[in-house]
Amino acid sequence: MQDVNYRPKIVAFCCNWCSYAGADLAGSSRLAYPADVKIIRVPCSCRVNPLFILRAFQRGADGVIMAGCHPGDCHYTSGNYFARRRMTLLFSMLDYLGIERERTRVEWISAAEGAKFSKTMNEFAATIAALGENKRLEDLRCKK
């Protein structure tokens, strides 16, 4: 049974130039999203190693989302294009292993899209809350 006090843990990797700025705009526009979402700033979505995502799941994250500049708008020209291929393959593999696909997501959110940032995080948090705890990729040793 699901713990009534269950609060999902969600890690959001945001690129510095677009999505992190989008999060700032969501903040300054007071567009709320659940506190379960915690952001890690990376220079570019291409900095996100699949290892980090698995690590988050290992440590008990219930959902991991990566947000970057829209394709074509990468601050570093091509970073998000590479990130897109990597995440496509990784997510497909997680799906193949029977790990709920909905626990991982990629969104392209520009610095101007504070509303999209908030909406995305709300949606994602709701999806994860509905899925419940991540049981398939967590490392029980990391639980207290």
Partner 1 sequence: MQEMMKKRAIELLANGTCDRVLGWTNGDFAYDQTPALFRTEQELEEGFVYNGFSAANLSKYLVKECRAGGKILVFLKPCDTYSFNQLVAEHRIKREMIYVIGVACDGKADVEKLKEQGIDGITAIKEEGDTYVVSTIYGDKTVKKEDVLAERCVNCKSRKHMVYDELIGEAGDVIADCGRFDMVEKLEAMTPDERYEFWRGVLSRCIRCNACRNVCPACTCEQCIFDNPKSGVAQKAAANSFEENMFHIIRAFHVAGRCTDCGECSRVCPENIPLHLLNRKFIKDVNTFYGTYQAGEDPAAKPPLGRYEKNDIEPGEAGGVKA
Partner 2 sequence: MQRIGVFICHCGTNIAATVDVKAVAEALGREPGVVFSTDYQYMCSESGQTLMRDAIREHKLSGVVVCSCSPRMHEATFRKAAEKEGLNPYMVEIANIREQVSWIHKDVAEATEKAIILGRAAIAKVHLNKPLTAGESPVTKRALVIGGGIAGIQTALDIAEAGFEVDIVEKEPTIGGKMAQIDKTFPTLDCAACILTPKMVDVAQNDKIKIFSYSEVESVKGFVGNFKVAIRKKARFVDEDKCTGCGICTEKCPQKKVPNEFNMGLDTRRAIYIPFAQAVPKVATIDANYCTMMKTGKCGVCQKVCGVGAIDYKQQDVIVEREYGAIVAATGFNPMKPTQYDELGYSTCEDVVTSLELERLMNAAGPTAGTLLRPSDKKHPHTVVFVQCVGSRCDAENEKGKPYCSKICCMYTAKHAMLIREKYPDTEVYVFYIDVRTPGKNFDEFYRRAVEQYGVHYVKGQVGKVVEDNGVLKVQASDLLSGEQLHIDADLVVLATAVEPDKSARSIATMLTASMDTNDFFTEAHAKLRPVESPTAGIFLSGVCQGPKDIPETVSQASAAAAKVIGLLAKDKLTCNPCVAESDELLCNGCSSCEKVCPYGAITYADKEFRGPNRTTLIRRVASVNPAVCQGCGACTVACPSGAMDLKGFSNRQIMAEVDAICKM
Q: What residues line the site for partner 2 (CB under 8 A)?
A: 9, 11, 16-18, 20-21, 23-24, 26-28, 30-33, 35, 38-44, 46-52, 55-56, 59-61, 69, 72-79, 82-83, 86, 110-113, 118, 142
Tell me the window of 1-9, 13-21, 78-86, 109-117 that interacts with partner 1 (CB under 8 A). Answer: 78-86
Cβ neighbours, 10 Å, residue 2: 8
**Least CB distance from residue 137 to partner 2, whole Å?**
12
The C-alpha atoms of residue 103 and residue 38 are separated, in whole angstroms, by: 15
Q: How far apart are CA 59 and CA 24, in angstroms?
A: 27
Q: Which stretch binds partner 1 (CB under 8 A): 16-24, 35-43, 76-84, 123-131?
A: 76-84
Q: Rounded to an integer, what distance in angstroms lies between the CA atom of residue 52 and that of residue 40?
A: 11
Stretch near partner 1 under the rule CB under 8 A, chosen from 16-24, 26-34, 35-43, 83-91: 83-91
Quickly count: other Cβ atoms within 10 Å of residue 38's Cβ. Answer: 11
